[in-house]
Amino acid sequence: QVQVVESGGGLVQAGGSLRLSCKASGRTFSSYAMGWFRQAPGKEREFVATTTWSRGSTYLGDLADSVKGRFTISRDNAKNTIYLQMNSLKPEDTAVYYCAAGSILSTVSARTVNSYAYWGQGTQVTVSS
């Protein structure tokens, strides 16, 4: 069983920055794909960013088009933690942000909510205009 816990959400003005953290339990963290998704009121949960393991012990990062150039995903396997650095935030980024973990090898599959077996409780990000 893997437990996933997010932190770092809050209220920020448009143009500001936040960094979300996600810590996962489990000794196989380094082999898991880790993803960030978000869900705004009345909308479906959507892909934001993911980091998946690739050959040669490297990781591939992938970002949704709506956040490219503004958000960065990174991971620290020694701490079983991934991060989502969010810059130039916009009001439309307001949502509950969820971290997820799963045994996923395809970057395409890693964009899909149903590919992930483990989810955190979510952290609220509110961007005021």
pLDDT at residue 57 in the model: 67
Average pLDDT per 10 consecutive residues for the chain, totaling 129 residues: 93 98 86 94 96 77 95 93 97 98 88 95 97
38 vs 53: CA distance, rounded Å: 22
pLDDT at residue 91 in the model: 97
pLDDT at residue 29 in the model: 81
Handedness of CA 118, 37, 12, 68 (dihedral sign): positive
